[in-house]
Amino acid sequence: MEKYIISEKKDIGLRVDQYLRSKLSNIPDSLLYKTFRKKDIKINGKRVLPGYKLSINDRIEVFISENVIKDIEKQYSHSKEFSILYEDENIMLVDKKQGIVCHEDTDGTTQTLISSVHAYLVKTMGDLQYPPELCNRIDRNTGGIVIIAKNPESKQILVEKIKIHEVKKSYLCVVHGVPKIKRGRLENQIFKDSVKKISYIMDRKEKKTRTAITDYKVLAYNKGISLLECNLITGRMHQIRAQLANEGHSIIGDLKYGNNSININFKEKKQLLYSYKLKFDFSTDAGKLNYLKDQFFIVLNIEFLKKYFPEVNL
């Protein structure tokens, strides 16, 4: 059992779930909120909901097995889910490794990027006034740059900048075949099936379709495969993967949209797709984040690039 007493002014008025996320940094959110549901978190002897606002001298009791806590801490103590590209008092840019989910999903995965980032920040900074939050997400088996906000104001600014296309994201991928047009734009109607977690390219605009636009250029090609740089103009689910597969140039290793025989031939079990470059292309005011204007960041250590196109310099 863990016990805490609220004695500092900075904690007064804080939601109890936020407070506990900073104290129990290595506990995944799923376990924390399950503990709330089981009535195993009490304040002053009474069961509370996650939104309870803390007061001075509140006594918090958390009934989680010490063995469970030790097992989870051991799991996260050797975390290799990400490396840090950039960090300041407001944001982090991390390079998420392939195979890691950004946040908890319907499979109940607890080993997530955001949990590992949270644990890292607590370890380096101590108690956090605000938990870190994702500003963008990428698929489990796609690696690359993810933006983390350290405070609510920064998140609000960055989410808006992404929405109005003032944060530019570029991807590298290796595809089957060589596109006839070496530099072009893919524009399709796309339908997202949230139940099956798959996107379909449609022949025409329909009620539930949305426009998907991706600019691409061929950087290199050999032996029947090509290295492409893709720039997202819109941000639909699995957009690049679905559009390239629709063009007959599926991404090598893509088990959902790709060609099974090709994937088997290359022995790749994760799609060769990486969010490798990001630019803060601010043209409107960014408030406290104005200092990021025109800065760009790039990931150079990409395994599939070294494996298939070692001669390419980014």
Q: How many whole angstroms separate alpha carbon 47 and alpha carbon 66?
A: 20
* Long-range CB contacts (within 8 A, 24+) of 93-96: 93/145, 93/146, 93/147, 93/148, 93/278, 93/297, 94/145, 94/146, 94/148, 95/143, 95/144, 95/145, 95/146, 95/299, 96/138, 96/143, 96/144, 96/145, 96/146
Determine whether 294 is an active site residue: no
As a dihedral over the C-alpha atoms of residue 13, residue 16, residue 20, residue 22, rounded to 10 degrees, the angle is -30
Residues 6+ apart with CB under 8 A from 144: 95, 96, 138, 171, 274, 275, 276, 299
DSSP secondary structure, 34-88, as one string: HHHHTT-EEETTEE--TTPBP-TT-EEEE---HHHHHHHHHHHHT--SEEEEEE-
Active-site residue, selected from the candidate residues 11, 58, 95, 139: 139
What residues are labeled active site? 139
